[in-house]
Amino acid sequence: MLNDLPVQAEDALLALIGLYRDDPRKTKIDLGVGMYRDDLGKTVIMRAVKEAERRLWEAQDSKAYVGPEGDLVFTELLAREVLGAGWSATNVTGVQTPGGSGALRLAAELLAYQGPRTIWVGTPSWPNHKGIFGASGLNVKTHPYFDPRTQTVLLEEMLAALNGASPCDAVLLHASCHNPSGAALADDDWNAIASVVAQRGLIPLIDSAYQGFGRGVDGDREGLQTILAACPEALVAVSCSKSFALYRERTGAIFVSSDSSDKSAKAGGVLASLARVNYSMPPAHGAEVVRTILADEELRADWVTELESMRLRLIQIRRALASTLSGRVPSMAAIAQQEGMFSLLPLSAEQVMTLRHGDGIYMPESGRINIAGLRLDQVDELGGKLLRHLAQH
């Protein structure tokens, strides 16, 4: 049996970690994998997380099973944070999951539960969206979303595609900090999307993986709330990996919002049963940490403060990079307005390879850069190297 298995191509993004590590050049820059890094290039443990872990170590007296739906206090507190206090109180059910990827997987399996269904995904998107949805039995269709050359959102093209979608098709939306483009939607854009999604009877699946990195913890839920207000049924997949810097702890949740508490409860039951046959129960530690932070006013305030300082560092680097590049390539001014960790440069795969081998600048073939991988004092030098390629467009 094993002999006949195909050889899997390595995950190109994860492979960058090893390639970067093995490059001996001192001037190398890692703009690859999507983790926040500080000025020293470290992905640190947040202060509130460390304190919550200390408290848990002292207080925890059992490792007994929790159940497929995970930590119920965690999901309730997280719902309030991600959906807002008003929404979380109305007909919302949540199930804790192993990270945002686990949330997307359960969401996709719920969408595929009653038979074949199509999900619409913008181009470009996080590559694993298509992977997870396809593996869960959904039929993935794409619509235009972002043009790296002009650095603009293709809203009209997106709306036209969604207007051609069939009722009960699902549509994937990024809550904030679009991965990979960083392109932000204006309030009017969210309203336009909400109105097409509601009129066509589509089911939104909103991926919230970067709350706090765009407009702040409150601002980053506004678009999502516009969609929830317009749609009688919606799913929200949450990742705590970036917002709490809990990457390896695999912490997340899937929420169902509907116009009746009965419907949401039924969906919650199906999600829990899907969890049971996939991995039985989610890992506890990360959710306990998040619960401890969100349940304590002081710890929560410290988490918000630290998250805000991370957001401001990204904005500072964005502005510096945009100003270095935009003199020669005007479209690059958009980098300063974009949000979150990523921007998508209009580079060919060949140009990306030249930057990697020639200059020690590491990014995936798509041209996506992780802004957090940069220090302010590297921006000028990086800008010069990027301009050699960008100016050709």
- Of 14-22, 99-107, 273-281, 303-311, which segment contacts ligand PMP by CB under 6 A? 99-107
Q: Measured from the CB atom, is 210 or 379 closer to ligand PMP?
A: 210
Decide if residue 34 touches ligand PMP (CB under 6 A). yes
Member of 179, 181, 257, 338 binding ligand PMP (CB under 6 A): 179
For residues 194 and 206, the answer to whether their CB atoms sit within 8 Å is no
Q: How far apart are CA 150 and CA 148, in angstroms?
A: 6
Closest among 227, 290, 261 to 97, alpha carbons compared: 290
242 catalytic per annotation: yes
Among this protein's residues, is 220 annotated catalytic? no
28 carries an active-site annotation: no
CB-based contacts of 276: which residues, under 8 Å, 6+ apart? Answer: 68
282 binds ligand PMP (CB under 6 A): no
φ, ψ (nearest 5 deg) of residue 4: -85, 0
What lies within 8 Å, CB to CB, of 372 at 6+ separation is 35, 36, 37, 310, 313, 314, 317, 341
Does 204 engage in binding with ligand PMP (CB under 6 A)? no
Identify which of residues 126 and 303 has a Cβ nearer to ligand PMP in the complex.
Answer: 126
99 counts as binding ligand PMP under rule CB under 6 A:
yes
Name the residue nearer to ligand PMP (CB basis): 136 or 351: 136
| Span 228-257, contacts to ligand PMP by CB under 6 A | 239, 241, 252
CA angle, 282 then 73 then 263, to 5°: 80
The residue among 49, 33, 52 whose CA lies nearest residue 41 is 33
Choose between 325 and 363: whose C-beta lies nearer to ligand PMP: 363
Query: Which CB sits closer to ligand PMP, 106 or 299?
Result: 106
Question: Can residue 351 be called a binding residue for ligand PMP (CB under 6 A)?
Answer: no
Question: Of 91 and 101, which has the nearer Cβ to ligand PMP?
Answer: 101
User: For this structure, is 120 an active site residue?
Assistant: no
Query: Which one, 34 or 364, has the nearer CB to ligand PMP?
Result: 34
Q: How far is the CB of 171 from ligand PMP (least distance, A)?
A: 15
Please give the Cα distance from 19 to 132 (Å, whole number). Answer: 26
Cis peptide before 346 (omega within 30 of 0): no
CB of 75 to ligand PMP, least distance (A): 15
H or E, element range at 275: helix 261-278
- The span of 73-81, 98-106, 215-223, 296-304 binding ligand PMP (CB under 6 A) equals 98-106
The residue within the footprint of ligand PMP, chosen from 101, 181, 226, 370 (CB under 6 A), is 101
Helices (H) and strands (E) in the chain, counts: 14, 13
Buried b (16+ CB within 10 A) or exposed e, 208-239: bbbbbbbbbbeebbbbbbbbbebbebbbbbbb
Of 48, 52, 108, 242, catalytic: 242
Q: Which of 126, 272, 287, 359 is catalytic?
A: 126
Task: Identify the residue among 30, 51, 71, 207 touching ligand PMP (CB under 6 A).
Answer: 207
In the complex, least distance from residue 2 CB atom to ligand PMP, rounded to whole angstroms: 28
209 binds ligand PMP (CB under 6 A): yes
Out of 175, 209, 284, 334, which one is annotated catalytic? 209
Cβ pair 3, 341 in contact under 8 A:
no
What is the C-alpha separation between 177 and 184, in angstroms, rounded?
7
Binding site for ligand PMP (CB under 6 A): 34, 99-101, 126, 179, 207, 209, 239, 241, 252
Q: Which residues are catalytic?
A: 126, 207, 209, 242
